[in-house]
Amino acid sequence: MSILVRDVDILQVNGTPMIRSGEIAVENNQITAVGPAGCAPKGFKPQIEINGKGLVATPGLINCHTHAAMSLFRGYADDLPLMEWLNNKIWPIEEKLTEEDIYWGTMLACLEMIRSGTTTFADMYFHMNQVARAVGDAGMRASLCRGLIGVAPNGEEALTWSHGFAREFHGSANGRITVMLGPHAPYTCPPDYLRLVRDAAVELGVGVHIHLAETRSEITQTAEEHGCTPVQLVEQTGLFEIPVLAAHCVHLSDEDISILTRYGVRVVHNPQSNMKLGSGTAPVVKLLAAGITVGLGTDGVASNNDLDMVEEMRSAAFLQKVTHEDPTVLPAEQALSMATVNGARALGLEDGIGTLEVGKKADIVLWDMHKPHLHPMYDVAAHLVYSAHGSDARTVIVDGRVLMRDYEVLVLDEEAVMAESERRARRLVAEVG
């Protein structure tokens, strides 16, 4: 598909100033021109022409940590202590999930993400072949891993399954799907198991996605059982020698931060999940100062309760400001970078996505700035982070394909996705009683 977006303000998120009334040309799945009006090649005849007046183009937002199918559990169990929430609510209902439930839960999540300007997500769940099917159908980009529980009776079998999944799906859907291995957390995956995961990741040439240092109880438990912190425990297994995406990293010592820095571990900050579950405040300012790549994620809907990355940017900025009692920390532009270019780095996809530049994949969001809550406008990044809503995403392009145009989702039957996922969510809740 060839596309020309003209008369559009462009935030490339590569450190350059905003381009006013510029244009973006897309051929096949790549950006072939981006710059001032007239930059598209002479004689370029696009199949789709989009008038960008009143719109701002940014790279698609990247949700670096979620469990998409948990959108079926939106609002099912709120305001509970973490272990009670998991033991009495989330784990019992997850037991009842069928493969088709996961497909429809992921479709609901994809629909919500497209509608709020997210083009890529990193997912850890199970029945990942169904998640891959949904990603394919929705036209999104995703980094997928099956959550591995080393202490479970099927721990090794799940790792073998992940091997096959990586071989089959890594680079599939025209390269939109990439695969990682997903050891759930150090407290569910003992050191010997993490060593097996490391060996498998080396063999497959893929990275690892793990929950790390999320709650204070994880820190206490690891200290009691192993006499060290979760970060130190993982370091001993050699897992950090491969690319690691570590979700949460809320409770870190200075020594932990040096370890993460030394190995180039990428961190995903999940401010709304950390706030809702009362987990604590991640030391994001310290991590950024140490030069660590920090992306942003929503975590699953059951602990958020939505997939709106615009809110996540705002929460990330506000949470650091209130914690440090300093309004200058984590400014808007940095929050926007975390949701785009740094997110791409966190997923190891920086060569393809994260900025609007020639040669990058065409993952583009056009934000509708003609709204009361966005007038007047002085600084676009500040508006996107502090004033906008995910629902201000007007047109969304992924891999050169228009998934939503002028608020109309073109790739999915929106009513059918909502009706089917609603029906399945109600059945699941009825089953657990």
* Nearer Cβ to Ni ion (299/420): 299
Write down the least CB distance from residue 264 to Ni ion, Å: 22
Radius of gyration of the chain (CA): 21
* Nearer Cβ to Ni ion (117/147): 147
Q: Which two tokens stand for residue 402?
A: 């228009």
Q: Are 245 and 208 in contact (CB under 8 A)?
A: yes
Q: Which two tokens stand for residue 39?
A: 């930059």
DSSP E strands in 263-377: the ranges are 266-269, 294-296, 364-368
Q: Which two tokens stand for residue 320?
A: 């650091």
* Nearer Cβ to Ni ion (55/97): 97
The DSSP code for 25 is E
Write down the least CB distance from residue 298 to Ni ion, Å: 9
Write down the least CB distance from residue 297 to Ni ion, Å: 8
* Nearer Cβ to Ni ion (243/300): 300
Kindly give the interhelix angle for 254-263 and 230-237, rounded to the nearest 10 degrees.
30
Write down the least CB distance from residue 90 to Ni ion, Å: 11
Q: Which two tokens stand for residue 228?
A: 């060290």
CA-closest candidate to residue 57, choices 76, 33, 91: 33
Instruction: Find the residue with minimal CB distance to Ni ion.
Output: 299
* Nearer Cβ to Ni ion (112/299): 299
Amino acid letter at 418?
M
The DSSP code for 181 is B
- Sites of contact with Ni ion (CB under 5 A): 299
* Nearer Cβ to Ni ion (117/182): 182
Write down the least CB distance from residue 66 to Ni ion, Å: 7
Q: Are 141 and 363 in contact (CB under 8 A)?
A: yes
Residue appearing with tokens 């997928």: 144
Q: Which two tokens stand for residue 216?
A: 């204070």
* Nearer Cβ to Ni ion (27/299): 299
Write down the least CB distance from residue 250 to Ni ion, Å: 12
Residue appearing with tokens 């005849």: 45
* Nearer Cβ to Ni ion (52/300): 300
Q: Are 282 and 249 in contact (CB under 8 A)?
A: yes
* Nearer Cβ to Ni ion (299/311): 299
Bridge partners for 8 per DSSP: 22
Write down the least CB distance from residue 184 to Ni ion, Å: 9
Write down the least CB distance from residue 431 to Ni ion, Å: 23
Q: Which residues does 269 contact at the CB level (< 8 Å), separation at least 6?
A: 248, 249, 282, 284, 294, 295, 296, 297, 316, 338
Write down the least CB distance from residue 353 to Ni ion, Å: 22
Q: Are 162 and 197 in contact (CB under 8 A)?
A: no
